Amino acid sequence: MRRSTFLLLLLGISQTFARAQSTSASTPQDSSRATVYIYRYKQFVGSGLAPSVYCDDVQLARMENGRYFTTTVDAGKHIFRSNDEQSGIVLQAVAGGQYFIRVDIATGFMKGHGRLSLLDSQQGMYELTSDKLRPLDAAKVVDKDRVSIEVAHPRAQTQMTQPAPALTTAPVPPSTTSNPAPVAAQAHSQSAQSPTQLMSVSTSGVTPTSSSGDQVSLGDAARLARQKKQAQQK
C-alpha cells in the first residue's frame, strides 16, 4: 500500500515537473523580437530521420516527422540551417515580424539530409496550422531557453492597401508653330484691304493705276493711243 502511494506521488511530481519545464521553454511573442516557426511535413519518406536545426551554429532541436516548434530571435541577420551545410537561410529579421521555415528531407547516397526553405507568410501559415502537424516532443529539444513547443498561434498578416497616387497632368506648353489657318485668313484680309496695282497704257508709256480709281484695260489704252495719233496726223 505504501509502495503504491509512493509511486503515485512520484508520478504526480514528474508530471508537474514536465509541465513546468514545458512552460519555461515557451517563448512569448515580443514586439522587439522576431518569431520564427519551424516545421516539417508528415511524410512517409524519411520518417525515421530527425535532422537537427541550427540558428547561428547553435543547435535548437532535432526535427521529427510531422512536428513543429517556435523560436524568437533579435532583429538583424541570422543564419538557419540543418545538417546539410550546403543549404541554409540568411534571415534578415525585423522586430515584430514572423517567419516560416520548412524542413525537408533531401535523399542522399547513404542517408537523407535536412534542408530548410523560407516560405512566404500565406503558405507558411496554411501549412503550419494543418491538423496533421503537432508540437515537437520535449525530448527532441536541445536549447530549451530558445525553443517553445507550445501550440503555435501565428498572427494573420493584415495587408494595408495604400491608396493609389493621384495622377497629375502636366501643363501643355504653348506651341511655337503658329496655326496656318489664322495666318492665311490674315493674309487674305490684308490682300483684300490693300488696293491692287494695275498697269495702264498711255501715250507716254505704261503707268500703274490703282484699283480704287478708273481702271483702263490694255486694249482700250492701245486703241485710244492709235486714235490720238491718227488725229494728230490729220
CA separation for the pair 98, 162 (Å, rounded): 22
Residue 104 lies in a domain: yes
Statement: residue 20 has pLDDT above 70: no
pLDDT of 29 reads 54
Instruction: Note whether 138 and 29 are same-domain residues.
Output: yes
DSSP 8-state assignment for residue 179: P
Residue with the three cell numbers 524568437: 72
One-letter amino acid at 135 equals: P
pLDDT of 169 reads 52
C-alpha cell at 28: 512569448
C-alpha cell at 213: 480709281
Instruction: Note whether 65 and 140 are same-domain residues.
Output: yes
Instruction: Note whether 102 and 210 are same-domain residues.
Output: no
pLDDT of 225 reads 81
Statement: residue 75 has pLDDT above 80: yes
pLDDT of 83 reads 87
Residue 178 lies in a domain: no
How many structural domains are present in the chain?
2
CA separation for the pair 198, 205 (Å, rounded): 14
CA separation for the pair 131, 85 (Å, rounded): 31
C-alpha cell at 62: 532535432
Instruction: Note whether 129 and 223 are same-domain residues.
Output: no
Cβ-proximal residues to 57 (8 Å cutoff; 6+ apart), any chain? 79
Q: What is the mean pLDDT of residues 5-11?
A: 59
Instruction: Note whether 131 and 70 are same-domain residues.
Output: yes
C-alpha cell at 144: 530549451
Say what the pTM is.
0.55
Residue 212 is part of which domain span?
197-234
Cβ-proximal residues to 65 (8 Å cutoff; 6+ apart), any chain? 40, 41, 42, 43, 46, 47, 48, 49, 50
C-alpha cell at 98: 514572423
CA separation for the pair 70, 136 (Å, rounded): 9
CA separation for the pair 193, 115 (Å, rounded): 94
Instruction: Note whether 50 and 119 are same-domain residues.
Output: yes
Residue 100 lies in a domain: yes
Residue 230 lies in a domain: yes
pLDDT of 224 reads 81
Torsion of CA 195, 201, 207, 209, to 10 degrees: -20
CB count, 10 Å around CB of 34? Answer: 23
One-letter amino acid at 125 equals: M
